[in-house]
Structure formats: C-alpha cells, structure tokens
Amino acid sequence: MAQRRGIPIILSSPSGAGKSTLAGRLMAWDPTLSFSISATTRAPRSGEVDGREYYFRTKDQFQQMVDDGEMLEHAEVFGNFYGSPMAPVERALVEGRDVIFDIDWQGGQQVRNSTLSDDFVSIFILPPSIAELEKRLRSRGQDSDDVIADRMTKSRDEISHWAEYDYCVVNTDVDQTEAQLKAILSAERLRRTRQTGLVQFVRELNAEFEGRQS
C-alpha cells in the first residue's frame, strides 16, 4: 500500500467565523490529525494549559525562537505575538500525519513562502454575513466591547485576503461546513504527488504482471 507525506492544512478566517470549532471537529473525525500548537506571548486564559492550547512564552523567549529560526511563521495580533514552532510540524509531515494550522492570513503567507510551500493546502472560512460574525463574537462572552470592535475592524482586512487561498467555504451551517472540509481533505490526500510510495507500489504491480507471463 502506498505511503504519503503529511499535509499542512491552513485554516484561516476572521475571528468568530468558526475556524477553531471546525479544526476541533476535523480532529474528532480523524484522530491521526495533528494540531500545530502555537507559541504566544499573551497571558493564559482560565483553564488553558501550557503545551496544550499554546506554548506560553515571554516576549524575550519568543523573539529568541524567531532569531534561532525555530518558527515556521509568526505575527503580531492585537499586541501579542503568535507563531508556529517548526520542528514538530516537519516531524509529523515526514511521518505521514496531517497538521492543522489555525492561523491568520499573515501566517498563511509565511507558510506558503516557507520550505513547506509545495505541501500546504489553504482554506479560508467566510462568515454568512457581517452581522452574524459580530453576533458570534458577542455570544462567546470573552471580550469587551472595545476588543470586539477591534476584531470587527480587523475582520475586513482578513476577508480581503480570501483569494489567496486554495479553497473558500462559507460557514452558514457548521455541520455542512464540516462535511465540505472533510471532502477537501479526503481529495487532497489522494493527490498523486503526495503519495511518496506510489512509484514503488506500481513497480510491484508491474512485477506481478511479469510473474504471470513467465
């Protein structure tokens, strides 16, 4: 059976459009999926654990990781820094495990310009409307009015980058969107160029033909 290289899957959206929920659903559907845990300089929220939701680092520690070339991508968002450590991602891809990135368009651009440029699949999640986007942000009950206003302002810039992605999905219904993401991933896994063991597999098939003819 042919083996394949893992896929880095970039999920981006304006805050509140559902990418984190959808990433969680994909991982529940396929437990072999890995999640790229980001490093961040923001303070942990209630219930968050270092190394599970994020690697929580000081600004000096974060900058040192960047200087040492340990980040696949990084960006400043709302006054805090976020980034994806490179080593665990590359290890997972070599082992044939797909990795989900829950990152913004800035991070997506950096990944596309990295050593993973030939591997990635990028998906942008759009909200059904701007009114619904704000409703979802408020329903989370995590942010002040000022923070929500900042997120809504930033969402316009985020959405302007939709055309840079391989796929765009409108998240009107989360179940339907989940099904669409599964279809995308299932098809991408079958790309000939991803199946690193396919050449040898076909050679073995041809050897069987030769054996039948002898």
Residue 63, SS3?
helix
* Nearest Cα to Cα of residue 120 among 5, 10, 3: 10
Q: In the β-sheet with 167-170, what is the strand arrangement from edge to edge?
A: 34-35, 99-102, 8-12, 121-126, 167-170
With cut-offs at 50, 70 and 90, classify the pLDDT of residue 26: very high
With cut-offs at 50, 70 and 90, classify the pLDDT of residue 33: very high
The DSSP secondary-structure symbol of 165 reads S
Q: Average pLDDT for residues 13-23, to the nearest whole number?
A: 89
Distances (CA, A) of 99 to 10, 82, 122, 134, 183: 9, 17, 12, 29, 16
With cut-offs at 50, 70 and 90, classify the pLDDT of residue 214: low
With cut-offs at 50, 70 and 90, classify the pLDDT of residue 149: confident
With cut-offs at 50, 70 and 90, classify the pLDDT of residue 30: very high
Distances (CA, A) of 60 to 37, 51, 70: 19, 18, 14
b/e map 27-65, b = 16+ CB within 10 Å: eeeeeebbbbbbbbbeeeeeeeeeeeebbbbeeeebeeb
Highest mean pLDDT among 11-15, 42-46, 177-181: 177-181
| pLDDT given for residue 112 in this prediction | 82
Helix axes 19-29, 174-189, angle to 10 degrees: 60
* Nearest Cα to Cα of residue 103 among 174, 7, 175, 36: 36
With cut-offs at 50, 70 and 90, classify the pLDDT of residue 1: very low
The residues pairing with 126 across neighbouring beta strands, listed in sequence order, are 170
Mean of per-residue pLDDT scores for the chain? 89
| pLDDT given for residue 39 in this prediction | 93
- Report the percent of the chain where pLDDT is more than 70: 99
Residue 142 predicted with pLDDT over 80: no
| pLDDT given for residue 102 in this prediction | 84
Q: Which of residues 196 and 203 earns the better pLDDT score? A: 203
Residue 2 predicted with pLDDT over 60: no
Q: Average pLDDT for residues 30-59, to the nearest whole number?
A: 92
**Range scoring the smallest mean pLDDT among 7-21, 103-117, 193-207:** 103-117
What's the pLDDT tens digit per position in 60-91?
999 999 999 899 988 888 789 989 998 888 88
177 in Cβ contact with 125 (< 8 Å) = yes
| pLDDT given for residue 196 in this prediction | 84
Residues in contact with 13: Cβ distance below 8 Å, sequence separation at least 6, in sequence order: 19, 124, 125, 126, 127, 158, 171
Q: What is the pTM of this model?
A: 0.81
Residue 155, SS3?
helix
Q: Average pLDDT for residues 121-129, to the nearest whole number?
A: 94
